[in-house]
Amino acid sequence: MAQAQINIEDRILGGLWGLLIGDALGVPYEFKQPRELPPASQIDFHPPAGYPRTYPTVPPGTWSDDGAQALALLDSLITCEQLDLDDFSARLIAWAERGEYAVDHRVFDIGVQTSEALRAIQHHGVPPTRAGYLRPEGKGNGSLMRVLPLALWHHGTDEDLVRDAHLQSIVTHGHETNQACCALYCLWARRLLQGLEWNEAYNDAVRTLRDLYRDLPSHEQALEWEIRPDSEPFSDGSGYVVASLHAARLALKEKTYPDVVKAAILLGQDTDTNAAIVGGLAGLRDGIQSIPVNWRSELRGQERLNPLVKKLLEHRHA
């Protein structure tokens, strides 16, 4: 069943802004346990007076590595008109080394596995197609948090989209579980962009991925035995990629964008990433107008975001 009519441009804007605002909203609360968090009514860019923010010198409304890497991917796709892993990895390195795509050019958060992979590419000549395998069992959420622009940009078939979701992951996170999470998320996002109801969109994405994985046994095993897409979602809020995907399933049950991202944050731990991941989906589901005006106005770095959004919309209309 399709949702209420929201035009595709509003959904795209909602997805990108939703990711970045979810990220920025979660930054002050990162690494906190649920018991250490304010009540939902007080979760904001500006935490309650006296609250011990995780990054006290980072101004409210600032996205972190999640948003920066998503913009690096978007810029690479727009510039190259395809997924080019050499270009994409160079942009990730430009972010990590010089703060490209970061607000104020300041990098204040980077995952261990991502950092190791980018150093291997930059300093040891490891190709981007191998860098994500340096930690064979590494299953952090670093490639899932940035993948949404791929689904928004992509004009290819579902099979093409899944292939590219895998490829963008292996630059930093090569395990089949990471690849499968990125693929499922991209299919889910595509269905939301098409206007399907959120749970119907998820179920259709699962069915499609199962069909595509019939000849990919290791990916099929990751999907069925680790992600377990039919099980009731459970998440401890951690940075484990499956926990983040299930956090999105849990939080998206909420009816409004603010309630969705707050639900993700209230799980604790990796608050910015989990809110970014599900914030993109909620923005796709509900459109840009669902995101509170004050959060949109207070988001920092808009001068970096807006030109990329304009180019993405031009690409979609081409």
d(CA 190, CA 202): 10
Flag whether 86 is marked binding. no
Flag whether 75 is marked binding. no
Flag whether 65 is marked binding. yes
Flag whether 230 is marked binding. no
Flag whether 208 is marked binding. no
d(CA 183, CA 200): 17
- Tell me which residue of 87, 80, 78, 101 sits closest to 153, measured CA to CA: 78
Q: Which long-range contacts (CB under 8 A, 24 or more apart) does 311-316 make?
A: 311/78, 312/12, 312/16, 312/74, 312/78, 312/149, 312/152, 312/153, 313/9, 313/12, 315/78, 315/153, 316/8, 316/9, 316/12, 316/152, 316/153
CB environment 247-263: b (16+ within 10 A), e (fewer): bbbbbbebeebbebbbb
Q: Decide: helix, strand or coil at residue 92.
A: helix
d(CA 44, CA 145): 20
How far from each other are the two terminal CA atoms of the chain, in whole angstroms?
A: 28
Flag whether 10 is marked binding. no
* Positions at the binding site: 64-66, 270, 272-273
* Positions at the binding site for Mg(2+): 64-66, 270, 272-273
